[in-house]
Structure 1
């Protein structure tokens, strides 16, 4: 029984520890992040509650905003929350020869849009007009580093008197200059110098050497009185002759005459006797082996080779020989010429100066029209590491850009923000529905100064344009009927027979919805002059009744009888010159003429009726003589006034 109780208790403890271990279990693998990983290897490890894991950013990613980089395993077997804390960055800015990055721009990371400025070192200065700034782009790469530094100049290296300086490349930092002496002079000092750093600038390493004149040795000869002037002897630098005895020293053969050297006479030799002196330095060449000596015996041959950066001139044998006249042959040799740099290749540009691409040559770059030059406009063929190459690989000829085309109301261009417009490219405009484009729909990117782009004309406008169909009195519009017309639409007009058109017979709908030029008028061919004589009353179109002078026509002798009759009955005609233009109330001479004829006929009818009426009453008076008479007065020529009875009597 006791054994059973112990076993039961043990089992309960086991269950308790099992439950406890379930509550306090591991958290499992820590969370995975996209741009970061744990600092330590977590493979095969357990993570009980309280364990912390620290993360580190991947290469080119940084904890820019100082977010939490740690997770902790909690008691409930869960990791604390963590969010992405690493952001992409550009790599460290590239190193630039002869320049350093500005200290204030140095960072541990570089986000997109970050700029870095370089400063030239003491041995160099910045090229005017070149920006020494690079930018971290959106794809986390740096913009190209321009060539913005050029070496400082050491200035004129000077040249020794009776000698000259040979400039191998240029006078800038690290340049080298060789020195040579003229014929008859020997070089004392360093045969070359270099432009090196000195303090905050540059300075030539050595001063120019000294060129000293070469002094010939002295020779003494004694002749016996019996020697003839045609005796030939062999002499060296110093020869002594006594009587008929002759001392021979291996040398060149020379002709000595008694007249040249009397008994006991001394004279200086002049290089035509004896060995050759040290040869002059040959440009761009050096001895193939050994060093130059002060003197060489006759017949000596020296062989040369070209120094680095130079090559042998075709067909030339690089050697000199000491001749019997104590001179070197050839006298002033040139064995070597500079090697050629590869022909420059400039896309959208060309080389405008120098066709010689050999060492030391300088070339100038020019971009094609429509392109602008970014970088230096020149380069020099130099020697670097034993190889000739251009000290500048060439600028960039960039197509001249224009700013985005201007925005317009009620319309737009084909610019979508994803591209730029360069020289020669066209921006096209369109208008929204119901709007008309006024101006040119195409703008071309051009340039005036060869550097900056600009649009060749102003941007167009989008407007609502509608011209109403024109009305022309005594004329017609020669086109199918339309109530309105769009911008720039043309119409042709003409006048009725007997009328003359004043103005243009072709009009166009303008941007202000008006016809251009204005609608013409049709004028009748006859001109009538008028004068003002009386006052009459007329009614205006607004209903007012102004008083003013009336016009009475003055008829010329050439007018017809019908026209005279019109004036006699009071018809008023307006002068042709006063006819309102383009007005519905314009004078219609045909209507006036018809009205005048009708008026005359009516007047004649009234007169005839009045005469008949009078004749009838006269006949009645003659028949009835006994009765009272009723005389009447007839008022002729006034059809608007009725006959009046003079007196009334009843018989």
Structure 2
């Protein structure tokens, strides 16, 4: 396998003579890198065995193996015409020696073959060498009986092999199994020793006991294992429904029994009104529930209006009541109210106010959409095909039902019909049927579409529109930008419509800075700059009490560093650390601690310390640092995604 998905794991093993240090398996992480730390193979410190001894007339199966470690097994076999005497295998012991003695190859036959249906008689059971012409006898194993026409014996032939082992023992047979009441038995193969039968029940019954039985030994004979299962009728528990009742009450309900459910007054049924006892001892459909019914009082009245509800005292949840106004009044607000789950009517209630009657212009052939207008409504006067307004074109409905300014008169003129609709867009003249010369309409597109053509057209004196309608075309974004040391995660296509989203991820050893996702906007551009992939580098910290020859070094993600202390210093912590994805070292950076010096140096150190204490702690540290040239040895191992046998080391040192 060349590519591994996140969660997949691989196992490592070492060649003979080497032992594994670390975890034996690694797994692929979500950031497309292998888990750490990586294991390694080191030369085993245990004793090794010499090459296995050779035998005359035979050989072993490890001729190509060079290293033999404790526990390894070598198998011997004899050349044609020879038979093996003794154990065919020897193994390497913990002391570095082979288990003895090795086998021998001699003329004649070795141990007779093991048979699945028979075993050697007692007199030949432990013998390993037989002369040519020797005959051995077998006895049938338990569960088998003698075949009357085939002798149970093998003979050592002149070619040092045993004669063919014929089936002189046959399997015993169990009696035909009994079928349970309301069920049946299925014979899968036959009734011989070791065979299996299966039990099933008729519809409406369930099996109690083991569904499989095997033909097994029973004393000196064979019989079916276990007890005969039984088939019981399916029984469902008595259904319970609060605030309701069931049609048939029983102590026990059997398969396919049905019951009907009803609720008490003031409650309504949620679910199915009928259920049936199914084969899995459950009711199907599930038992319903009775929920309390919520009702609303009669809806309130409004001034100068009335509602259309019937003469009812109560209304159920969801019931709608419509309002209408008296002649000369117009309805303000929603024309209907609904009974809510809390037993109240939806708010606010509508109201009726005095309105303006649709005006007639000139010869009363003006076009209007409403028969009554609300106070504050503004209308544009539009005449029929042979008239055009003179004076003001707009008028507003005033409280009391009058128009201001006064309505104009009309004269003959040509007008335009409704402008054409466009897919995925609309125009500003949807509320009008005809348009006077000079009237303009503007087109707009739905989100994700861009306007191509004239966004605004006007009605000309000839009664035609000035330009063809524009077109709304789907917005598309260009290919998303690439990022250095990273890649796009989403499926890349040739087009990216409005709303499309792509995501980025970084290569191993880099960390994502910024938002991983960008979206195609309604303007045909990507929503934000793409993220960046910044290299993961760990800073090696200054260690208290130790100075490094080169300070401020940084190391790449996955780098392993092995630390050592010079003579006279002791390492506190784990010697090998690795740069992590979060820019930290794991395990933490150890320290090199000064240990006790040799006797001559101790005497000088004590004397020097007594004098230096008078000069201050800073001078003491400087002298000790000059007397002891302790330093770190660091081994950097840039081994992420590198095989064990390809690990390289880079050595540097840091002075204390």
Query: Quick check: TM above 0.5?
Result: no
More strand by share: 2
Q: Normalising TM by the smaller chain, what interval?
A: under 0.3
More helix by share: 1
Determine which structure has more spread, i.e. the larger CA radius of gyration.
1
What TM-score comes out, normalization by structure 1 length? Answer: 0.27
